[in-house]
Amino acid sequence: MFFCYVFDTVNNIGIKTLTFKFKRRQFLLSEKNKKGKSIGYARAIDSELNYLKEQIKSLKNEGCNLIFSEIISLDEKIKPEFKKALNHLSRGDELIMTKLDRAFSNRTECIKTIIKLLKNDISLRTLSGFLSQSNSSEMSYAIFQILNGLDDLDNEYLRERKKDLTLKRRLNGNNLGGRPKISPLKESLVIRLRNEGCSYRSIRTQTGIALSTIRRIILDGERK
């Protein structure tokens, strides 16, 4: 047997994962001259077990010494097996996955992780063609620092833009969100039409106000 599989099922209240850990017992000939080890990571969701197996197979063929993989919901922010993969990396190693979206849900998270890896002289490579090399860490680190700064700039601009729009709308007396405000005159019209025996649909036709809003106005009027 050249391969050893370790299967571990993890079930918690807040998170449900099915994890697979693969470790190669013997080195491939192509690995003997490598200075560091290759650690793989694979991820899929509940209905994608075959896709997970395909990722693991590809990572094994790529020469990974150790593969951490898991079936985990996209909604989960913490990926336990990915965290384990990162903890097993040391200087000169490389982290391999099929695509960046297996480990990262957004650009900011991806860039920050790459910067941390490069600072520790660790490469990140995907089978789809992405590569951040540790042996050119100074240049790569500088580039990703710039990308991280630009990403922060985008986020800060969007936050500032949102604050500016909110302030302008508040100064202009416009609605800041939530249910659209109905003028007191229209509310009085709704109540008067209802008191005259008009149905909700008839009131909607005459006023153009949504049925849910009409019900709310009438209920509020009954409570007063």
| pLDDT tens sequence across 43-102 | 998 888 999 999 999 999 999 989 999 998 767 888 999 999 999 999 999 999 999 889
Which SS3 state, helix, strand or coil, does residue 106 take? coil
Q: Is the predicted pLDDT of residue 218 greater than 70, yes or no?
A: yes
Give domain 3-150's CATH architecture. 3-Layer(aba) Sandwich (3.40)
CA distance linking residue 167 with residue 176, whole number of Å: 9
Q: Is the predicted pLDDT of residue 133 greater than 70, yes or no?
A: yes
| pLDDT tens sequence across 27-48 | 554 455 557 899 999 999 888 8
Angle between helical axes of 107-119 and 137-171 (0-180°, round to 10): 150
User: At residue 216, what is the residue type?
Assistant: R
Half-sphere exposure in the Cβ direction for 104 (13 Å, CA): 16
- Residue predicted with more confidence, 189 or 157: 189
Full-model pTM: 0.57
CA distance linking residue 51 with residue 65, whole number of Å: 20
